[in-house]
Amino acid sequence: MSDHAGKISRRGMLVKMGAAGTALAAGVLFRQGSMGAEGGHSTVTHHTYGEPGSCADDGCSADGILNVMDYIPPEEHAGIRAGTSSYDCAAAINAALSNKCSVLFPCGVFEISSPLILDTGNYVHGSGKGNTVIRLKTGSNCDVFRTKDFDTLKGNPNGAALAPRYFGIEHLTIEGNYMAIGWREDGNGYNNTQGSAIAIYGWGYRINAEVYNIAAHALYSECMGDPGQQFERYSTVELHGRISGEEAVVFRGPGDILLDKIVFGVVGVKPRPDYYAIAGRTSSLFAGDTLDGIVLDETSPYDGHCELGFVHIYGVYYGYGIRTRGVCRIKAEHLVSENNRGGARFQDGAWGVVSILEVHANGRIPPEYKTAIAGAPPLPPLEGCLCESSWGMQISGLHVQRNGPSQDGWPSLKVTGAYNTVQLTSRGYANASTGGYYAGSAAVIEGVNQSVRVNAHRINGDAVVVRAVTSSVELNVRDVTNGSALVRDAGSGNVNRGNCITGTVNEAATGFTATGTPTCESIRLVLNNSSSKPLFAGSRPDLQNRAQQWEISAAWSNVPYGTRSRVFFTFDMSIVTEQTITVPHRLIYQPDFREVSWSIEDRLATWDGHIEYIRLQAVDAMNLVFKLKLSQAGSTGADVRIGVQIG
């Protein structure tokens, strides 16, 4: 083999080595780059990370890549590596980026006082999260990264053709220097009051970064319009971090991209002592509305529909962890909303599929909240999941854990709108301050043509509340205190009709409560309760004027009850005076007189007496009271009884 044949370029080597080898070799390049920069000459001689739009003609090296240290005075290199330099690197970094190349950043802390401008072809590559840190200087009050012409293009419904494309930020940490010290420490203050970590109007980008302590948003992305028939706007985001003064992520486009992995916490917080004095915050961007964690916004003119991979958002004390706005298509694999005021909200217009949505310890208030200082009680909790869509949302697996620290009084799921399909598992835990379970329903179902399945355990309050029209509800409920396992509310004028409700109930303060008598419905339940807990309350079905089909089988301390019953009674065949006979009817509710019929059963045809009359005298919640009189006594040995059909 000749010498020439035995050689391989660094780029070729990295291709053969794969991702792990790329990261290793990139580290070598960074170290070599630092030494070369100190010598005052270019450190990059082989193309490693080039992307579409990077080329030598734009001012880059022959391989389309630069080392940022070539643009920073050599005397600042050691301080940057050590994290002690106060040198303002913004101009140097922007000079490198102006070549529209990929730019490599070695280990170190790079302080800036003005935004770093991303244009087509700019790929910023750090040497690892925590190793490369871009930090905003105190008092800068600006975005850290922003795309070229961001202010001009923002809000433009047809700006995609003019916007930067094919750019990225990878393998670094962005420190927004928002709070002076830790967010839960007293005596805190502001170093910066404005600025997002990444502000984008563009497409075809790739983000893989950590964001920490930012005054506004960790990521703000927007892009609308057609970039050209030959282009695909596909972009990817992998983002994690902590502490933002406003929403962590606001996504308004480009549509159809992948927010692959987002893990972020502590959203919308202020430094102490301001933190103590805030009874409730609202969004600055969405004036007067809740301050949420991750917002997908497709209100006009925005384009916020997208795919999500794994998302975990926590510490959102003033709003929902995840929220959609407008006619927003969402496809999500796994969403986790934990320790937030509200879990997730899918506004009317949302449509698509969420495979897994987990909500844990919802109803949070800011830690160490002090009403005496804030001057008002904390904001009330929000729903674990609020689905308001009339476009058809499918949530295949919603899992809600109602555990501390939490507030009382929020439903695990509330569904309004129409055509939504949800499967819910809801589990409660004891509230240490009250000794009972945390209060709140498992599911409140409203709207039209909903399909909801509920498996709920340890509920304090009404477990499943149905106020819907022509909807299908399946429930499996266990251990309900201070409420009913099922509440069916027909509404004013009995307008909530046409529902099909099935399920099982095991131990509830009340098994089933019905309000109103809708024109038609089908209810099929199996109830199991102790004797101290009633099986039913409210409005019994109107079998004369309504098509209410109830089929309920119940055990009350192991005694059978239901909505239909066949019982019998005997009488004294030797006397002709009027007899009063009380018969348990075994219905879960007090039947109407018209639901009771009876007949004489003389099975051996041997009785020679005569009955003058049998009358149903009274009906109460437990018994039927009959009056019976014989006109002629008969043989006492005969096998005669009265059969009674109820329901």
Please tell me whether residues 620 and 527 are part of one structural domain. Answer: no
Query: For residue 142, which of 168, 117, 113, 175 has the smallest C-alpha distance?
Result: 113
Q: How would residue 61 be classed by pLDDT, with cut points 50, 70 and 90?
A: low
Share of the chain above pLDDT 90, in %: 78
Residue 229 has pLDDT above 80, yes or no: yes
Residue 390, domain member (yes or no): no
Residue 48 has pLDDT above 80, yes or no: no
Query: For residue 337, which of 353, 308, 357, 364 has the smallest C-alpha distance?
Result: 357
Range from 220-229, 403-412, 515-524 carrying the lowest mean pLDDT: 403-412
Range from 197-211, 338-352, 515-529, 602-616 carrying the lowest mean pLDDT: 602-616
The whole-number average pLDDT for the span 366-376 is: 82
Range from 28-42, 73-87, 281-295, 516-530 carrying the lowest mean pLDDT: 28-42
Q: Which pLDDT score is estimated for 2?
A: 40
Residue indicated by tokens 């109007």: 201
Q: Which pLDDT score is estimated for 265?
A: 98
Residue indicated by tokens 């990444």: 198
d(CA 311, CA 259): 8
Residue 38 has pLDDT above 70, yes or no: no
Is the pLDDT higher at 365 or at 80? 80
Please tell me whether residues 445 and 543 are part of one structural domain. Answer: yes
The Cα-based distances of 314 to 9, 81, 237, 311, 363 in angstroms read 45, 33, 18, 10, 12
d(CA 266, CA 214): 11
Residue 157, domain member (yes or no): no
Please tell me whether residues 515 and 597 are part of one structural domain. Answer: no
Q: Which pLDDT score is estimated for 604?
A: 58
d(CA 133, CA 498): 60
Say how many C-beta atoms besides its own lie within 10 A of residue 81's C-beta.
Answer: 15
Write out the H or E segment, with its range, that includes residue 151. helix 150-153
Q: What are phi and psi of 78, to 5 degrees?
A: -65, -45
Domain span at residue 590 reads: 565-646
The token duo for 338 is 């934990």
pLDDT tens profile 431-441:
888 899 999 99
Residue 378 has pLDDT above 60, yes or no: yes
Q: How would residue 639 be classed by pLDDT, with cut points 50, 70 and 90?
A: confident
Q: What is the CATH number of the domain that holds 632?
A: 2.60.40
Q: Which pLDDT score is estimated for 367?
A: 83
- Pick the last residue of a domain from 516, 544, 563: 563
Residue 580, domain member (yes or no): yes
pLDDT tens profile 142-174:
999 999 999 999 999 999 999 999 999 999 999
Whole-number average pLDDT of the chain? 90
Please tell me whether residues 480 and 532 are part of one structural domain. Answer: yes
Q: Which pLDDT score is estimated for 279?
A: 77
Residue 5 has pLDDT above 80, yes or no: no
The whole-number average pLDDT for the span 20-28 is: 39
Q: Which pLDDT score is estimated for 602?
A: 67
Report the number of distinct structural domains present in the chain. Answer: 2
* Contact (Cβ atoms closer than 8 angstroms) between residue 647 and residue 591: yes
Residue 633, domain member (yes or no): yes
pTM: 0.88
Highest mean pLDDT among 21-25, 106-110, 557-561: 106-110
Q: Which pLDDT score is estimated for 238?
A: 98
pLDDT tens profile 444-491:
999 999 999 999 999 999 999 999 999 999 999 999 999 999 999 999
- Pick the last residue of a domain from 511, 535, 563: 563
Helices (H) and strands (E) in the chain, counts: 6, 39
Please tell me whether residues 465 and 548 are part of one structural domain. Answer: yes
Residue 336, domain member (yes or no): no
Residue 523, domain member (yes or no): yes
The whole-number average pLDDT for the span 233-252 is: 98
